[in-house]
C-alpha cells in the first residue's frame, strides 16, 4: 500500500552536475558529526514535474565509507529518511545535497535517522 507521494522517483533526485553546483553555490548548510546537508530554495527545477517540490542529491565518498556496502547502507538510510519526511514539508521548493562524514560508516541506523531528522527540520524551517 505505497502511496505515490511516498515513492522516491527519478523526479525526486538531483541528476546532473549543474544541479549539484547550484545547491553548493547558493545553499545553506547544516552540519553535525555524521552529515553535512546543503539546501537551496527556489531554482528552476528544470527536470522535475510541476508537482514535485523537493529533490535530493547524495555525495557519499570513499573517504566517508571505504566499503561499498557501507556507502550503500548510508544511501538507503538517507533516501528512506527523505522519503518519509517529505510529506510533512510545506515550504517553497528545496533541493538538498547530503554529504556523509567518516563517522557514518560506524554509526547504527537509528543514530543516522535521528541526525537526518534534525537536519530536515532545521533546513525546512530556515530557508
User: For residue 54, what are the contacts with CB-CB under 8 A and spacing of at least 6?
Assistant: 12, 82, 86, 89, 93, 94, 95, 96
Answer for the pair 92, 123: CB distance below 8 angstroms, yes or no.
Answer: no
53 band by pLDDT with thresholds 50, 70 and 90: confident
CA 13 to centroid of chain Cα atoms = 9
- Classified as helix, coil or strand, 121 is helix
- Residue 26: predicted pLDDT: 87
pLDDT of 49 above 50: no
- Residue 101: predicted pLDDT: 95
Cell numbers placing 108: 547504527
pLDDT one-digit tens code per residue, 90-121: 767 889 999 999 999 999 999 999 999 999 98
pTM: 0.85
CATH of 4-125, one of 3.10.20.30, 3.40.630.10, 4.10.490.10, 3.30.230.10: 3.30.230.10
pLDDT of 43 above 80: no
Among 16, 115, 111, CA closest to 57: 16
pLDDT of 48 above 50: no
The residues with which 29 forms a beta bridge, in sequence order, are 38
pLDDT one-digit tens code per residue, 81-97: 998 888 777 767 889 99
Amino acid at each position: 500500500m505505497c502511496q505515490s507521494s511516498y515513492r522516491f522517483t527519478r523526479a525526486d533526485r538531483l541528476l546532473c552536475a549543474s544541479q549539484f553546483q547550484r545547491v553548493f553555490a547558493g545553499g545553506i548548510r547544516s552540519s553535525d558529526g555524521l552529515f553535512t546537508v546543503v539546501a537551496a530554495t527556489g531554482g528552476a527545477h528544470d527536470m522535475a514535474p510541476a508537482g514535485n517540490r523537493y529533490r535530493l542529491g547524495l555525495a557519499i565518498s570513499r573517504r566517508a565509507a571505504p566499503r561499498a556496502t557501507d556507502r550503500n547502507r548510508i544511501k538507503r538510510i538517507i533516501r528512506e529518511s527523505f522519503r518519509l519526511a517529505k510529506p510533512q514539508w510545506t515550504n517553497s521548493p528545496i533541493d538538498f545535497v547530503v554529504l556523509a562524514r567518516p563517522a557514518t560508516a560506524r554509526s547504527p541506523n537509528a543514530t543516522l535517522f535521528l541526525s537526518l531528522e534534525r537536519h530536515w527540520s532545521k533546513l525546512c524551517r530556515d530557508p
